[in-house]
Protein backbone atom coordinates (compact mmCIF):
# COMPACT_ATOMS: atom_id res chain seq x y z
CA UNK A 1 0.00 0.00 0.00
CA UNK A 2 1.24 3.47 -0.85
CA UNK A 3 2.84 5.29 2.06
CA UNK A 4 2.18 8.98 2.12
CA UNK A 5 2.85 11.95 4.39
CA UNK A 6 1.64 15.38 5.44
CA UNK A 7 3.88 18.17 6.73
CA UNK A 8 2.25 21.40 7.89
CA UNK A 9 2.59 24.40 10.15
CA UNK A 10 -0.35 26.06 11.88
CA UNK A 11 -1.20 28.58 14.58
CA UNK A 12 -2.88 27.13 17.64
CA UNK A 13 -6.23 28.62 18.71
CA UNK A 14 -6.15 27.04 22.07
CA UNK A 15 -6.01 29.03 25.27
CA UNK A 16 -4.32 26.62 27.62
CA UNK A 17 -1.68 25.56 25.18
CA UNK A 18 0.20 22.96 27.20
CA UNK A 19 -2.84 21.26 28.68
CA UNK A 20 -4.52 21.11 25.30
CA UNK A 21 -1.36 19.80 23.65
CA UNK A 22 -1.34 16.96 26.16
CA UNK A 23 -4.96 16.15 25.34
CA UNK A 24 -4.39 16.39 21.57
CA UNK A 25 -1.37 14.12 21.85
CA UNK A 26 -3.03 11.50 24.01
CA UNK A 27 -5.98 11.21 21.60
CA UNK A 28 -3.73 11.35 18.52
CA UNK A 29 -1.53 8.52 19.78
CA UNK A 30 -4.49 6.21 20.34
CA UNK A 31 -6.03 6.92 16.94
CA UNK A 32 -2.71 6.85 15.07
CA UNK A 33 -1.76 3.52 16.60
CA UNK A 34 -5.12 2.09 15.55
CA UNK A 35 -4.64 3.41 12.00
CA UNK A 36 -0.99 2.53 11.58
CA UNK A 37 0.05 6.18 11.41
CA UNK A 38 3.30 7.57 12.77
CA UNK A 39 4.82 11.04 13.00
CA UNK A 40 6.07 13.91 15.09
CA UNK A 41 4.53 17.11 16.48
CA UNK A 42 6.45 20.16 17.66
CA UNK A 43 4.64 22.96 19.51
CA UNK A 44 6.23 26.33 20.21
CA UNK A 45 4.87 29.83 20.92
CA UNK A 46 1.39 28.84 19.78
CA UNK A 47 2.66 27.25 16.57
CA UNK A 48 2.33 23.60 15.60
CA UNK A 49 4.57 21.80 13.13
CA UNK A 50 3.54 18.23 12.39
CA UNK A 51 4.68 15.35 10.20
CA UNK A 52 2.20 12.52 9.81
CA UNK A 53 2.73 9.42 7.67
CA UNK A 54 1.08 6.12 6.89
CA UNK A 55 -1.00 4.18 4.35
CA UNK A 56 -2.66 6.71 2.05
CA UNK A 57 -6.36 5.92 2.64
CA UNK A 58 -5.93 5.97 6.41
CA UNK A 59 -3.75 9.06 6.41
CA UNK A 60 -6.23 10.90 4.18
CA UNK A 61 -9.03 10.26 6.67
CA UNK A 62 -7.09 11.66 9.61
CA UNK A 63 -5.67 14.55 7.60
CA UNK A 64 -9.20 15.68 6.70
CA UNK A 65 -9.99 15.82 10.43
CA UNK A 66 -6.76 17.61 11.31
CA UNK A 67 -7.16 20.22 8.59
CA UNK A 68 -10.74 20.88 9.72
CA UNK A 69 -9.85 21.01 13.43
CA UNK A 70 -10.82 24.39 14.90
CA UNK A 71 -8.05 24.21 17.50
CA UNK A 72 -5.72 25.61 14.89
CA UNK A 73 -5.89 28.03 11.96
CA UNK A 74 -3.65 29.50 9.28
CA UNK A 75 -2.56 26.06 8.23
CA UNK A 76 0.25 25.99 5.68
CA UNK A 77 0.86 22.62 4.08
CA UNK A 78 4.52 22.22 3.14
CA UNK A 79 4.35 18.69 1.88
CA UNK A 80 1.78 16.04 1.08
CA UNK A 81 2.52 13.01 -1.04
CA UNK A 82 4.13 9.61 -1.35
CA UNK A 83 7.23 8.60 0.60
CA UNK A 84 9.38 5.51 0.14
CA UNK A 85 9.75 4.72 3.84
CA UNK A 86 8.51 5.92 7.20
CA UNK A 87 10.52 8.74 8.75
CA UNK A 88 9.20 8.23 12.31
CA UNK A 89 8.54 4.48 12.48
CA UNK A 90 8.70 4.27 16.28
CA UNK A 91 6.40 7.17 17.06
CA UNK A 92 2.59 6.93 17.18
CA UNK A 93 3.14 10.69 17.54
CA UNK A 94 6.41 12.02 18.93
CA UNK A 95 6.36 15.40 20.61
CA UNK A 96 8.69 18.23 21.51
CA UNK A 97 8.16 21.82 22.56
CA UNK A 98 10.09 25.07 22.32
CA UNK A 99 11.56 24.72 25.81
CA UNK A 100 13.20 21.46 24.88
CA UNK A 101 14.32 22.65 21.44
CA UNK A 102 13.65 26.09 19.96
CA UNK A 103 12.67 25.53 16.35
CA UNK A 104 12.66 29.16 15.28
CA UNK A 105 16.18 29.81 16.63
CA UNK A 106 17.30 26.70 14.79
CA UNK A 107 15.70 27.87 11.54
CA UNK A 108 17.28 31.31 11.93
CA UNK A 109 20.72 29.77 12.48
CA UNK A 110 20.29 27.84 9.27
CA UNK A 111 19.05 31.02 7.57
CA UNK A 112 15.92 29.16 6.54
CA UNK A 113 13.43 31.44 4.88
CA UNK A 114 9.76 30.50 4.60
CA UNK A 115 9.60 32.01 1.10
CA UNK A 116 11.77 29.13 -0.08
CA UNK A 117 9.04 26.54 0.49
CA UNK A 118 11.13 23.54 -0.47
CA UNK A 119 14.06 24.60 1.71
CA UNK A 120 11.74 25.45 4.58
CA UNK A 121 10.00 22.08 4.34
CA UNK A 122 13.37 20.30 4.30
CA UNK A 123 14.47 22.20 7.39
CA UNK A 124 11.25 21.40 9.28
CA UNK A 125 11.66 17.75 8.33
CA UNK A 126 15.30 17.72 9.50
CA UNK A 127 14.39 19.42 12.77
CA UNK A 128 11.68 16.86 13.54
CA UNK A 129 14.04 14.00 12.68
CA UNK A 130 16.62 15.41 15.09
CA UNK A 131 14.00 15.62 17.83
CA UNK A 132 12.97 12.03 17.20
CA UNK A 133 16.55 10.67 17.21
C1 LIG B 1 -2.09 20.20 16.19
C2 LIG B 1 -3.00 19.01 16.09
C3 LIG B 1 -2.47 17.76 15.77
C4 LIG B 1 -3.29 16.63 15.68
N5 LIG B 1 -2.74 15.42 15.36
C6 LIG B 1 -3.53 14.34 15.25
C7 LIG B 1 -2.99 13.08 14.89
O8 LIG B 1 -1.79 12.91 14.71
N9 LIG B 1 -3.85 12.03 14.79
C10 LIG B 1 -5.18 12.15 15.02
O11 LIG B 1 -5.90 11.17 14.92
N12 LIG B 1 -5.71 13.34 15.38
C13 LIG B 1 -4.92 14.43 15.51
N14 LIG B 1 -5.47 15.64 15.85
C15 LIG B 1 -6.91 15.69 16.19
C16 LIG B 1 -7.77 15.71 14.96
O17 LIG B 1 -7.78 17.01 14.44
C18 LIG B 1 -9.20 15.28 15.33
O19 LIG B 1 -9.69 16.06 16.36
C20 LIG B 1 -9.18 13.83 15.78
O21 LIG B 1 -8.61 13.04 14.79
C22 LIG B 1 -10.58 13.32 16.11
O23 LIG B 1 -11.45 13.60 15.08
P24 LIG B 1 -13.01 13.41 15.33
O25 LIG B 1 -13.30 14.24 16.56
O26 LIG B 1 -13.65 13.93 14.09
O27 LIG B 1 -13.20 11.95 15.58
C28 LIG B 1 -4.67 16.77 15.93
C29 LIG B 1 -5.21 18.03 16.24
C30 LIG B 1 -4.39 19.15 16.33
C31 LIG B 1 -4.98 20.48 16.67
pLDDT tens digits for range 86-131: 999 999 999 999 999 999 999 999 888 878 889 999 999 999 999 9
Report how far residue 97's alpha carbon sits from residue 59's, in angstroms, rounded to the nearest whole number. 24
Mutate to test the pocket of ligand 1, among 8, 29, 62, 70 (most ligand atoms within 8 A of CB): 62
Residue 88 buriedness (CB in 10 A; 0-12 / 13-18 / 19+): buried
Report how far residue 119's alpha carbon sits from residue 78's, in angstroms, rounded to the nearest whole number. 10
Which strands, in side-by-side order, build the sheet including 3-12?
72-82, 3-12, 47-55, 38-44, 94-97
With contact defined as beta carbons under 8 Å apart, do 6 and 52 qualify? yes
pLDDT tens digits for range 6-16: 999 999 887 76
Dist. CA 22 → ligand 1 center (Å): 12
Is 31 near ligand 1, meaning CB less than 6 Å away? yes
Report how far residue 3's alpha carbon sits from residue 9's, in angstroms, rounded to the nearest whole number. 21
Dist. CA 85 → ligand 1 center (Å): 23
pLDDT tens digits for range 56-89: 999 999 999 999 998 888 999 999 999 999 999 9
Domain interval for residue 49: 3-132
Threshold 0.85, pTM exceeds: yes
Total tally of structural domains belonging to the chain? 1
For residue 72, the ligand 1 atom closest to its alpha carbon is 31
Is 52 near ligand 1, meaning CB less than 6 Å away? yes
How many distinct helices (H) and strands (E) make up the chain?
4, 5
With contact defined as beta carbons under 8 Å apart, do 71 and 12 qualify? yes
Assign residue 46 the CATH number of its domain: 3.30.70.100
Amino acid sequence: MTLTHLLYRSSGRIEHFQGDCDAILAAARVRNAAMSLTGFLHAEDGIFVQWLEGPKPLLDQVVDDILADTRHRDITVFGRGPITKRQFPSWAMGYSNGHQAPLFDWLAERETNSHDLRGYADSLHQFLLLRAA
